[in-house]
């Protein structure tokens, strides 16, 4: 048992007599029969080596060892254990085994070994010297155990813990940054409505500020997606329909040099997804595919129904169950082996400086995980990479979208706005008044609730979700709905707490940073809806 791998293997079919172990309770021949019967039939892979022969060769192996390694007994017996080693086998672990053998001591290590077909497996190896009655060293006995699944689970847990830690940090940063962007974009909209079209210099400046702020807003959305702190507005949909509806945007973004082929399952299961976030995730992967192919090649999009089991999960951390799978495969250069485990990390990018933020795939990871699914990336044998997104199957029928025509601008309706950030509150009040509404602002949910108990002339409640003071915007909305069922309620947030998500789904929401037109459209839709006053 040494550190260097050697080939070819030398066959030596002779099986030696059993080592004699001191025991006065039964004859030696009976002891030998029992020893070999146990070793040969056990499911645990076992070997015996002879340190008195040159290079300490294997002189016996059981059937379990043959099954684990893929080698036949004739290929194993007569060779040193190093034939299981390979390029990624840890030299320090080999050194521990070698030193223990030199000292005639037992040793236990976990080591990466190679099967006959070239695949790797993690091996929990225990080596112990076998001594005779007189204390002389006779053999070395080695028991093994394939612990690959345990290692994979440990690595998946470590990755999940790392992602969760980074997610908490990025989620907090994105929340604060969204409020800043809300102020910037809001005043851009106000300036745009006040600056004359003939003032080209001012219009160009406003446009440049808006474009930069929009890019910042997209970055924060990607950060929140990775951190799983975005508010998902999911609904029952079919991935085939989403791909079909999104196809024109896909073709326009990928360019003429990229051909998109589809293989869509006719009986694809439905899912509960946020269609906007799903389209963003799809576009991120497709854009990476285009860049990997340098703008020319074929991208294959495929949907299928798959089942994940505890023994064979479809992706790391994926719970057993039924999943609709969307896979995207390109003809690019593939993913470098040294980076494939890091591609979903935030801010990690293989692109040149200025060509990517390193947030696209982390956004994909966060969105899929927040949707209850999993994502996997791997290289394909013929070249290129394949990304697979797995979404839990949902029961029910997909409903058709209904388009509602709304009027823009207010007619003096009174709106109660709840916002704890002074800058955001000042901006929101200015936008609403500019749209033609009258506004009363309070800085906490508890103040809003107290006000509504004796003043009920408001046409709509517009409240942030995450606020200090013990009562969130969602809790306020729930209590107000019980107190004044007819009052329309609009929530806003740049950040999502999972504990609030379920309750918030029963209310309309506009995401921060919102634009003037987005806010106007949401308010008019509520005011002109079934519970509105219009």
Per-residue 3-state assignment (H helix, E strand, C coil) for 313-346:
CCCCCCCCEEEEEEEEECCCCCCCCCCCCCCCCC
Place of tokens 């495929």: 302
Q: Is the domain of 261 the same as that of 365?
A: yes
Q: Is the domain of 420 the same as that of 392?
A: no
Whether 80 is covered by a domain: the verdict is yes
Q: What is the pLDDT of residue 163?
A: 61
Give the end of a domain, one of 348, 366, 399: 399
Helices 360-370 & 275-292, crossing angle to 10 degrees?
140
pLDDT in tens, 427-464: 889 889 988 999 999 999 999 999 999 888 899 999 99
Whether 363 is covered by a domain: the verdict is yes
Looking up residue 256, the CATH number of its domain turns out to be 3.30.565.10
Whether 18 is covered by a domain: the verdict is no
| 422: pLDDT strictly greater than 60 | yes
Whether 313 is covered by a domain: the verdict is yes
Give the end of a domain, one of 399, 424, 450: 399
For residue 289, what are the domain limits? 236-399
| 20: pLDDT strictly greater than 50 | no
Measured CA to CA in angstroms, residue 422 lies from 214, 263, 415 at distances of 22, 52, 17
Q: What is the pLDDT of residue 128?
A: 93
Q: Is the domain of 344 the same as that of 485?
A: no
Separation of alpha carbons 80 and 76, rounded Å: 8
Looking up residue 102, the CATH number of its domain turns out to be 3.30.450.20
Looking up residue 446, the CATH number of its domain turns out to be 3.40.50.2300
Stretch 45-50: mean pLDDT, rounded? 91
Q: Is the domain of 354 the same as that of 314?
A: yes
Separation of alpha carbons 516 and 187, rounded Å: 9
| 403: pLDDT strictly greater than 60 | no
Q: Is the domain of 418 the same as that of 361?
A: no
Whether 173 is covered by a domain: the verdict is no
Stretch 51-80: mean pLDDT, rounded? 91
Report how far apart the first and last C-alpha atoms of the chain are (Å, whole number). 85
Measured CA to CA in angstroms, residue 507 lies from 377, 408, 473, 499 at distances of 36, 21, 11, 15
Q: Which among 140, 16, 2 has a CA at the least distance from the CA of 84? A: 2
Q: Is the domain of 461 the same as that of 388?
A: no
Phi and psi for 302 in degrees, rounded to 5? -135, 140
Whether 277 is covered by a domain: the verdict is yes
Whether 194 is covered by a domain: the verdict is no
Q: Is the domain of 375 the same as that of 462?
A: no
| 17: pLDDT strictly greater than 70 | no
Q: What is the pLDDT of residue 530?
A: 58
Q: What is the pLDDT of residue 161?
A: 67
Stretch 93-97: mean pLDDT, rounded? 91
Encoded tokens for 459: 């046409």
Q: Is the domain of 392 the same as that of 419?
A: no
User: Residue 391 — pLDDT band, cuts 50, 70, 90?
Assistant: very high
Give the end of a domain, one of 114, 130, 146: 146
Stretch 124-141: mean pLDDT, rounded? 90
Q: What is the pLDDT of residue 421?
A: 86
Stretch 52-78: mean pLDDT, rounded? 91
Structural domain total, the chain: 3
Stretch 355-364: mean pLDDT, rounded? 62
Output the pTM of the full model: 0.45
Burial 501-519 (b: 16+ CB within 10 A, else e): beebeebbbbbbbbbbeeb
- 513 preceded by cis ω (within 30°)? yes
- 8 preceded by cis ω (within 30°)? yes
Place of tokens 């485990």: 341
Q: Is the domain of 377 the same as that of 459?
A: no
CB 379 within 8 A of CB 340: yes
Q: What is the pLDDT of residue 22?
A: 41
User: Residue 408 — pLDDT band, cuts 50, 70, 90?
Assistant: low
| 130: pLDDT strictly greater than 80 | yes
Q: Which residues contact 396 (CB under 8 A, 6 or more apart)?
A: 236, 270
Q: What is the pLDDT of residue 370?
A: 80
| 204: pLDDT strictly greater than 70 | yes
Q: Is the domain of 380 the same as that of 243?
A: yes
Whether 445 is covered by a domain: the verdict is yes
Q: Is the domain of 384 the same as that of 432?
A: no
Encoded tokens for 32: 């030998």
pLDDT in tens, 165-179: 666 666 666 667 777
Q: Is the domain of 434 the same as that of 375?
A: no
CB 463 within 8 A of CB 491: yes
Q: What is the pLDDT of residue 416?
A: 95
């Amino acid at each position: 048992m040494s550190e260097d791998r050697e080939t070819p293997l030398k066959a030596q079919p002779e099986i030696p007599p059993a080592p004699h172990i001191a025991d006065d309770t039964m004859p030696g021949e009976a002891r030998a029969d029992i020893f070999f019967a146990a070793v040969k039939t056990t499911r645990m892979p076992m070997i015996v080596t002879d340190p008195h022969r040159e290079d300490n060769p294997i002189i016996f192996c059981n059937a379990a060892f043959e099954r684990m390694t893929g080698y036949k007994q004739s290929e194993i017996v007569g060779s040193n254990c190093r034939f299981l080693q390979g390029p990624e086998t840890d030299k320090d672990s080999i050194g521990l085994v070698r030193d223990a053998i030199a000292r005639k001591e037992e040793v236990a290590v976990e080591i990466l070994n190679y099967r006959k077909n070239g695949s790797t497996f993690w091996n929990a190896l225990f080596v112990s010297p076998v001594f005779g009655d007189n204390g002389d060293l006779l053999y070395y006995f080695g028991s093994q155990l394939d612990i690959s699944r345990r290692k994979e689970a440990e690595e998946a847990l470590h990755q999940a813990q790392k992602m969760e830690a980074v997610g908490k940090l990025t989620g907090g940063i994105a929340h604060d940054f969204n409020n800043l962007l809300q102020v910037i974009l809001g005043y851009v909209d106000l300036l745009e409505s006040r600056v004359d079209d003939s003032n080209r210099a001012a219009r160009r400046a406003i446009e440049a500020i808006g474009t930069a702020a929009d890019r910042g807003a997209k970055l924060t959305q990607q950060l929140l997606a990775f951190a799983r702190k975005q508010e998902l507005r999911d609904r029952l949909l079919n991935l085939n329909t989403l791909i079909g509806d999104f196809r024109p945007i896909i073709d326009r973004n990928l360019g003429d040099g990229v051909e998109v082929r589809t293989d869509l399952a006719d009986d694809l299961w439905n899912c509960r997804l946020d269609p906007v976030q799903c389209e963003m995730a799809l576009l991120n992967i497709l854009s990476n595919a285009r860049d990997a192919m340098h703008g020319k090649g074929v991208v294959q999009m495929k949907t299928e129904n798959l089942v994940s089991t505890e023994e064979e999960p479809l992706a790391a951390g994926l719970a057993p169950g039924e999943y609709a799978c969307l896979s995207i495969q390109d003809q690019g250069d593939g993913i470098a082996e040294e980076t494939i485990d890091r591609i979903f990390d935030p801010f990690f990018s293989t692109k040149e400086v200025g060509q990517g933020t390193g947030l696209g795939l982390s956004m994909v990871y966060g969105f899929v995980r927040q949707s209850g699914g999993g994502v996997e990336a791997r290289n394909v044998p013929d070249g290129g990479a394949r990304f697979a997104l797995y979404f839990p199957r949902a029961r029910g029928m997909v409903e058709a979208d209904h388009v509602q025509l709304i009027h823009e601008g207010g007619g003096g309706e009174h709106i109660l706005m709840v916002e704890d950030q002074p800058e955001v509150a000042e901006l929101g009040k200015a936008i609403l008044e500019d749209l033609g509404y009258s506004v009363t602002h309070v800085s906490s949910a508890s103040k809003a609730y107290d006000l509504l108990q004796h003043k009920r002339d408001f046409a709509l409640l517009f409240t942030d979700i995450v606020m200090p003071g013990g009562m969130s915007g969602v809790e306020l909305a729930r209590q107000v709905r019980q107190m004044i069922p007819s009052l329309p309620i609009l929530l806003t947030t740049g950040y999502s707490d999972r504990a609030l998500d379920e309750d918030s789904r029963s209310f309309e929401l506009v995401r921060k940073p919102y634009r003037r037109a987005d806010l106007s459209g949401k308010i008019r839709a509520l005011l002109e809806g079934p519970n509105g006053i219009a």
